[in-house]
Every structure is written in structure tokens, then in C-alpha cells.
Structure 1
Amino acid sequence: MDQTGETSQIVKISYKTGNYVGEAIDRDERRVLVKVLAVLQHPTQGDLHSSYEPDVALFHERKALSYTEKVWVPAQTAQPYTGAIPDYRDSLRTALGIEMERIDRMKRWAELCLEKLEIVRQDYGM
């Protein structure tokens, strides 16, 4: 039970481009305090206002929230979570691997696009 006598609730939250499972341990009229238990999606790297742009003033490096780290989120963003709670370390490893694979796929796509555009440029006689 928390300070108000309510039992804690397991929730899914989004926080700074990452998604997590955690325990709601406190709340007020606007926010929920969540203790992180697992990572569902690793945070995105780079400038969020200039997606996929490497040449920005500040290219952000974002780490996932750590195990049992506490974070306040808007109440409406904390959704009930009923699935099994994965082990934090395993969930972090999986989320990081998925994000790295996604970026690698985009990199390979961009490289192939450049190859094809070079052929098109030659076809244009440029």
C-alpha cells in the first residue's frame, strides 16, 4: 500500500521517448510517481525536433531509465499494465538490441538509396 492506503499499481509509461513498465508508488491530482521495473522501448537518440538529422547543434545521447529509478509522469500517460514484468536487465538488453537493429536497417536502407540514386544520376547524364 502507498501513503494514501491504496495498493500500488503496475503501469506502462512513456518517458522521454522510452517506454517502461513500473510500479505507481505515489500520485497527486496531476502526476503519478513510477518506480521503473522494465524497459519496453529504448529511448531514441538525436534531436527530437530534427528527426534523422545528424548535423544538429546537440545530438542527444539518451540512456534508458535505470532499475527502480523513480520518475513523475502525467497521470493520463500511466496506463495499467497486466502482462508479465520482464527482468530489468533482460528487458534492457532486448530493447537496446531492437533499437540498434532498427537503426542498422535504416542505415542499410539509406546506403542502398544512395547507390540507386547514383545510378539514376548517371542515367540523367549528370
Structure 2
Amino acid sequence: MAEQEKRMPEIGSIVAFANKTGRYAGEVMETNGSRVLVKTLAVLKHPEQGDLHHPYDPDVPMFHERRAMSYTEKTYVPLGDIGPFRGEVPDYKASLMDALRAELEGLDRLRRWTERGMDNLRQLEKEY
């Protein structure tokens, strides 16, 4: 309990926090036991798409679309999902687009890796 009190961020401080599969920078609005109300100021990592219980499976019954939190959207975050934020908070819209592009680049890299792996396996299939 004492450790939680030491880690409790101050109201008005800027923190990094996780929400669902995204990561954000935000301002602490209030603290409530083991939860902290945070106002979103920037997107650090765009939320992942699809079914989290079946990662990288496109053939699930419900392929979830996850939007990033909106500018100034408030949410309660468990204390364990909050950490220090260092540096200057980026502009929300610019950070959103940077995070979206990074997520797209990661998926493109995974797609290209899959294609190359499939090419290798097809060649091996011919040799086997």
C-alpha cells in the first residue's frame, strides 16, 4: 500500500498511460485509490486491430476496429498502467497520425515477412 502511495502521480502532472492496446500521454485530473483519471493529450501508440485473444488471425467472428482515444477524452486508468512522461507533449493530431503510420508500417512489415516466408516454404515444398 505504501508503494502505491509513493507512485501516485500528482494532479496536473503529465504521464504516459496504457488504455486497452494503445499508449497515450495525458494530464492527471484526479486520483481515486488505485485508479487515476487522466485526460488524453497525445497518442504514443495506436491501438491494435483485430481479436486480441486470437492475434494475427483474420478469420475470427469479430475483427475489432479500435480507434485511438480522442483529444481531451478522459478515462480512469489503473495505477499500474501509468508511468512518467518525459519530454514535450506532442500536438494531438500530429501524434495521432504518427502513431497510425507506425501501426501501418508495422503491419506492412509483417505482411512482407509473411510473403517472404510463404515464398520460402513454397520453394521448400517443391524440393521436398
Structure 2: runs of 5+ lacking an equivalent: 1-9
Separation of aligned partners in 2, 1:61 and 1:70: 20
Are residue 121 (structure 1) and residue 125 (structure 2) matched? yes
Separation of aligned partners in 2, 1:96 and 1:65: 12
Matches within 5 A, 1:23-102: 23-102=27-106
> Residue 56 of structure 1 aligns to a residue in which SS?
coil
Separation of aligned partners in 2, 1:120 and 1:18: 39
- What is the TM-score when the length of structure 2 is the normalising length? 0.89
Separation of aligned partners in 2, 1:51 and 1:26: 34
The answer on whether the counterparts of 1:24 and 1:35 sit within 8 Å (CA) in structure 2 is: yes
- Per-residue CA deviations over 1:21-53 (Å, capped at 9, x if unaligned) read 000101111210000000000000011111111
Are residue 16 (structure 1) and residue 20 (structure 2) matched? yes
Q: What is the identity percentage for the equivalent residue pairs of Structure 1 and Structure 2? A: 50
The answer on whether the counterparts of 2:11 and 2:31 sit within 8 Å (CA) in structure 1 is: no
The answer on whether the counterparts of 1:21 and 1:81 sit within 8 Å (CA) in structure 2 is: yes
Question: Which amino acid letter does the alignment assign opposite residue 16 of structure 1?
Answer: K
Question: Which amino acid letter does the alignment assign opposite residue 31 of structure 2?
Answer: R
- Deviation of residue 57 (structure 1)? 1.2
Aligned residues: 119
Separation of aligned partners in 2, 1:113 and 1:18: 29
- Per-residue CA deviations over 1:101-120 (Å, capped at 9, x if unaligned) read 00000001101111111110
Structure 1: runs of 5+ lacking an equivalent: 1-5
Q: Which has the higher helix share?
A: 2
- Per-residue CA deviations over 1:41-93 (Å, capped at 9, x if unaligned) read 00000111111111111111101001000010002222121311000000001
